[in-house]
Chain A
């Protein structure tokens, strides 16, 4: 009887791969995307010409900020570790606490955040209308004056082009590559220890919320904008959107608070706090090796120059 039960358990646990590869190409309106790209790199979108989107989202290196928290307007510190913008289009919601339903809502956030770009709709329009952007927008949107919604639209178009296809693991999923023994071991552990319960789907994350410290309580700093700040539910305290693991090797430091400086440290922390498991050094190393296979190509849009 017990034997059958175990067979049963095994059968339901061993389901097909719940991770899907990133498409090699996606359709993006390139005119808009190139305009958005220019804006993305331009500090004109901040009040003191100090901050660009790029300042905190280094799209050439993981798309996030290597600082624990980002510095924005007048060097003000942000309150959370900057999440990557790469593959963000595949997240079910945006921001650590998912307060934005999509990229459009997201882009609106930092621009208006006093600690980041410290701008507003009116000022952005005014600034851009007194710049060469006025012509560029007319070319792309056919408007006589730059409109804020088009500013966001072009940035979103650019962000939608920021995909990192052809990671080794994606090739493996498509049967185009084989994982090394160690990588494969890491992937098996990744599944067996239940990492995949949350890190699944196209982005290996980014499709659900999870409590930081499900199993073992994680320190709670009320300063951080967790899910509770949105839903005001008790059970949402210390709950964040599960981050993507794509290009994870390049987005240190880790977690919302940037507390884990290395990838291995973050795996260890996660195992303890969310899985109730203590991983051996070999296991940590294997999983880390597996995670490296999630590094994809630099988005193709970045390989062409920004139009001047």
Chain B
């Protein structure tokens, strides 16, 4: 049986026992009530019967008796009898015997009550005559000495009659002449009256005795007792049944209770285990296994409920190196030692909590004033730098960066500050400021910059080459070198994905350098083509880069003459002198200059007067719509005419289809580049022929 079934059975058993208990209670209550009802009525019957006997006795003895008492007794006896007959308990067939007994008792009592009526009738007459006689013989006529004998005789008669009545035995007057006789005329009438009454008594006494006996000698009282005994005996069986039932209920109840108690005990045990398992699980969830400090999860929970906290993000500078040098094991020891140190140190700041967020990153949440926080951080950095950490294989000194932040989102901002801090070796503490708002892209940017950095390190920055076609000869004369980043998975990142960001980083100049070097390498292999490289104002402004570049040109003087430089138009082309100087210098290598993306942005005709320019690259946004937009055609033609006048050749970008090509050819544009000819390619084509699709 499965546990579920056992539990179900237990519940069923419990419900059953409660139902049985309830039914027991109701039945037992009803039965007790009915039982009591019968017993009360039968007791009352007994009582009234006794009372009736008593009243009859009194009425027999007393000359004056209030017969209302007897009348009431009779009425009460009748109603009690009725009550008994209607007793609910007698409807139960178990009490059939009682019912039969009661029925015969009722007959008996009814007979008795009839006898009582008759008794009262006779009693009154006999009493009255005896009362009469008692007074009568005291009359003067009887008392006279001459009538002494008559008086004594009368007294004897009266006494015997009294005895007869009291003993209910006619033998007392057996053979006794109840009549007085006298010859004296003067008391003849008196004797006659006496005799009339004794005669009446003689006639009435036997009937009175019979009736009285039937009342006093009956066994009604005993029969009521018998009825009671019979009833009690039968009721006892019922009570026994109830006892048995109660025992059964008790057993069932006990079983279900025991089972329940067992289950409860088990439940409590299991629950306790569960609670302890849960708490240990919870502990492990919120604690760092290695250091025993609370972990990132705890940090997040704490920070969520903190009011205006300061977050101190601590990171061990060069931890990776320590791992590399001393091994991971020692690294772990350092982390533990470092944790202990932090813990010890932060004891002084009771309002602060310490967390290990991961690897060598630790955090402190504290609610202090800004100045206090700064002092805590600086003290901490100093003490850490002075402390010798015993990592068993060596004693080492470490340095930390601490980023501090109290602006939501707390961790992200602190993280950002820490990242900035990592790049800035001059500082070891940085307070996050709202100015770091670039942070929104910065995470991504930092990632991208990291990609760029690694690509540079791993030589994955490569030039792609897009042919530039002479539209008259339809031969490839040049290639534009376009920067690409080869990802580790082999995919190629387009410049728009990283170049803008790269411009803001120190890597941009490196990219330019790599492009020049690699393009020159290629140019060496393809002496039949010219290669144009994009140079921005930022590059020109970077003196170091410029020096590097010119050094490169110097080293590859012959190949350098194969190079064109496309100057990217930008707002910071105001330092004309510098540009003029640059152009002049590059031209000395035989490098030609073209202005890139002309026709949009900052296109400025002043370039033409100030700078010595060889080509004007007309922006693709104009070229690709000359077929469909007459205005664009007009602009295009204007630039073309203008360039022609200045003796500058044009290069049209975005030649995407035959139609555009036709227009360009009709106008007389010298060069074109675009997908209609070719996409940028990893290497230049060996043939200068264009295969048009």
Binding site for B on A (CB under 8 A): 2, 5-6, 9, 12-20, 90, 92, 101, 191-194, 196-198, 200-203, 207-211, 214-215, 231, 233, 235, 239, 274-277
Contact = CB atoms under 8 A, between A and B. Distances in A.
B124 A18 contact: no
Contact of A192 (B67, B117, B120, B135): B135
B121 interface: yes
Interface string B98-140: 0000000000000000100110110111011101101100000
Interface stretch (B192-200, B565-573, B656-664): B192-200
B118 A214 contact: no
Given A12-B62, A14-B63, A194-B124, A209 B200 contact: no
Contact of B121 (A14, A201, A208): A208
A208 B124 contact: yes
Contact of A209 (B63, B117, B128, B193): B117
B500 to A, nearest CB: 102
A16 B69 CA distance: 14
Tell me the interface secondary structure of chain A in the complex: loop
A12 B62 CA distance: 5
B19 interface: no
A5 B72 CA distance: 33
A208 B71 contact: yes
A17 B71 contact: no
Contact of B65 (A9, A14, A18, A20): A18
B205 to A, nearest CB: 13
B129 A215 contact: yes
Which of A197, A198, A202 has the most chain B CB atoms closer than 10 A to its own CB? A197
A-B complex: 8 closest residue pairs judged by Cβ atoms: A194-B128, A201-B68, A92-B71, A13-B63, A18-B66, A197-B124, A207-B71, A214-B125
Given A5-B159, A231-B114, A235-B121, 17 more contacts: A12-B63, A20-B66, A101-B75, A192-B135, A194-B124, A198-B67, A207-B67, A208-B67, A209-B117, A210-B120, A211-B125, A214-B121, A214-B124, A214-B128, A215-B128, A215-B197, A274-B125
With most chain A CB atoms within 10 A of its CB, the pick from B63, B75, B132, B196 is B63
Chain B contact residues, majority secondary structure: helix
A39 B136 CA distance: 53
B148 to A, nearest CB: 12
Contacts of B124: 194, 197-198, 208, 210, 214
Chain A CB within 10 A, most for which of B71, B72, B207:
B71
Given A2-B155, A239-B121, A13 B134 contact: yes
B377 interface: no
Given A9-B162, A12-B63, A13-B131, A201 B71 contact: yes
Nearest to B138: A6
A18 B71 contact: no
Contacts of B121: 208-211, 214, 235, 239
A233 B122 CA distance: 14
Given A9-B162, A15-B62, A275-B128, A207 B155 contact: no
8 contacts: A13-B134, A14-B63, A18-B66, A18-B67, A20-B68, A92-B75, A193-B128, A208-B117
B58 to A, nearest CB: 9
